Structure 1
Amino acid sequence: MGFALIANKICLLCVIVLLPALCTSQDTFTCSRATYYGRPDCYGTPSGACGFGEFGRTVNDGYVSGVSWLYRNGAGCGACYQVRCITPQYCTDEGVNVVVTDYGEGDRTDFILSPRAYASLARPDVDVDLFAHGVIDVEYRRVSCQYSDYEYLMFKVHEHSRNPHYLALVMIYVAGQNDITAVELWQEDCEEWKAMRRAYGAVWDMANPPSGPINLRFQVCGSAGETWVQSRNPLPADWKAGSAYDTGIQLT
């Protein structure tokens, strides 16, 4: 019992001391707990709090997670983490890399993993034993997101958008260890940048957006601090709800 008490105190100290800053990379592991949610297909959910829709179900081949405080009011949507459990008889040393697509709270957990991600924590042939635990002790760290098929930052026009009266954008394929913390549109008649509102999660919106092709810029928060980057490709005047557009911006 004394050893368990010491271990719990060490883990608590780990959490307190190593909480990641919003705009810095995290090289060390932080102690936490993880569980999983049930879906018959073992992938993510299209109704996650980040607003990713179908993208949130299949991104990273379904290795996704809901998070609690790491959600950060939606700024944490799309962030990638390496999660590994600390039960050697059941778990691999590498763990699994997951993409944040949802918000969720469990029994003192920071991660609620998709079944595919949770199963990948386990050593061969012992995943059933791991699932039987339900909630497990883990350690995690922020890692770079990498999308081999997508070179540039992209955004999708949310299905609720209605040209020309309402525009909502969903940030997708945010590579590296970067967060999108602000989005602005160029208002040509006023000759100034107008801020979009973070509606929720990774969704940014604006009523009565500018007409014609729309120039956008994004505030990117990463290991080098915050910086503004402008899309090389304007949103076309005939933008359509449900369509995805390439910014031409490479984030690393």
Structure 2
Amino acid sequence: MGALQATVFFLILLKARDVTVAENDEWKTATATYSKETDGSIITEGACGYGDLHKSSYGKHSAGLSTILFNRGSSCGACYELRCVDHILWCLQGSPSVILTATDFCPPNYGLSADYGGWCNFPKQHFEMSEAAFAEIAERKADKVPVQYRRVKCERRGGLRFSLSGNSRFFQVLVTNVGLDGEVVAVKVKGSRTGWIPMGRNWGQNWQCNINLKGQPISFEVTASSGRTLASYAVAPANWQFGQTFEGKQFK
């Protein structure tokens, strides 16, 4: 096999692997409950820093993850398909599934048994859902149901969204509406008078660096968990202000 043929064959295998991981991930077992608070953190905010989940497009189809799944916030933005299984009383007929985005952390409660209230105790794999999303796969009467889950591609409308905050000595951006992997593992920022500057994870999907970029058009380079990198140039114009949100390119 020639060098060119070998390269093409390798790229085909790599592409097939990406599709397999993203679309045909094996089903795994977990449990799920839902938050009974209509304005609780699972709907309006969360540990990933997305703020109002309806404005960030995640809304009712968001979930809090137990410690082992949350992985210190690196799972923020990832998409999961869930279906209720193996419970004739609580699971809806036909085992319909629902797609959720990881937006919050379900903290452990070691004062309670893992079977009675301590759903998110380590190393349990658990999803805390909104009541509306839970009702799409199971009866609301259920306290906890067994589920199967798998990672899937995130389907998003529009481009990546960059929400700016900070001050003259501190620059922060919240990255939302991330397609495909959903997870952001690295971010770089560039002004018109700077090179690419790596940003550190502040918390969730908030990324920071200590630099003053006022008066400069801003570009972002985002790396997803698959290793794919996407650059959005001059996303914010020179007259941008803190508190504004701008839209860039999208992973395809």
TM-score bracket for the superposition, by shorter chain length: 0.7 to 0.9
Matched, 1:55 2:58: no
Which of 128, 131, 149 is 1:112 aligned to?
128
Find the residue that maps to 2:141 and give its secondary structure: helix
2:224 partner amino acid: V
Aligned to 2:152: 143
Q: Does residue 234 of the first structure (1) align with residue 250 of the second (2)?
A: no
- CA displacement at 1:139 relative to structure 2: 0.6
Count of residues paired in the alignment? 214
| Equivalent residue number for residue 212 of structure 2 | 209
Give 4+ residue runs of structure 1 displaced > 4 Å after superposition: none
Q: Deviations over 1:112-131 (max 9, x none)?
A: 11111112212xxxx2432x
After TM superposition, the structure 1 = structure 2 runs for residues 89-168 of structure 1, keeping only pairs within 5 Å, are 89-92=89-92, 93-105=95-107, 106-107=118-119, 108-122=124-138, 127-130=139-142, 134-147=143-156, 150-158=157-165, 161-162=166-167, 164-168=168-172
Given that residues 175 and 206 in structure 2 are in contact (C-alpha distance below 8 angstroms), is that contact kept between their aligned partners in structure 1?
yes
Deviation at 1:173, TM superposition (A): 0.6
Mapped to 2, the partners of 1:58 and 1:181 lie a distance apart of 19
Give ranges in structure 2 of 5+ residues lacking alignment.
1-19, 108-117
CA-to-aligned-CA distance 1:91-112 (integer Å, 9 cap, x gap): 2312221111101144234211
User: In structure 2, what is the equivalent of residue 70 of structure 1?
Assistant: 69
1:150-195 superposed Cα distances (whole Å, 9 cap, x missing partner): 321122124xx23x33221111111123421111122665x53211
Following the alignment from structure 2 to structure 1, what is the Cα–Cα distance between the partners of residues 88 and 55?
Answer: 29
1:34 aligns with 2:32: yes
TM-score by length of 1: 0.75
Describe the SS at the equivalent of 1:231: strand
Q: TM-score, normalised by structure 2?
A: 0.75
Amino acid at match of 1:115: E
Check the 8 A contact 2:186/2:223 in 1, yes or no. Answer: yes
Determine the structure 2 residue equivalent to 1:13.
Answer: none
Matched AA of 2:174: V
- Give yes or no for contact 1:43–1:116 (8 Å, CA) kept in 2: no
Name the SS for the 2:57 alignment partner. Answer: helix
Q: 5+ unaligned residues in a row in structure 1: which ranges? A: 1-22
In 1, the alpha carbon distance for the partners of 2:172 and 2:40 equals 29
Say if 1:44 and 1:56, in contact at 8 Å, map to a contact too. no
* Structure 1 residues 37 and 57: alpha-carbon distance in aligned structure 2, compared to 1, 3 A threshold: farther
Shift of 1:53: 0.5
User: Match for residue 181 of structure 1?
Assistant: 185
CA-to-partner distance for each residue in 1:202-228, whole Å, 9 max, x for gaps?
A: 100122233411222111223xxx132
State the Cα RMSD in Å. Answer: 2.6
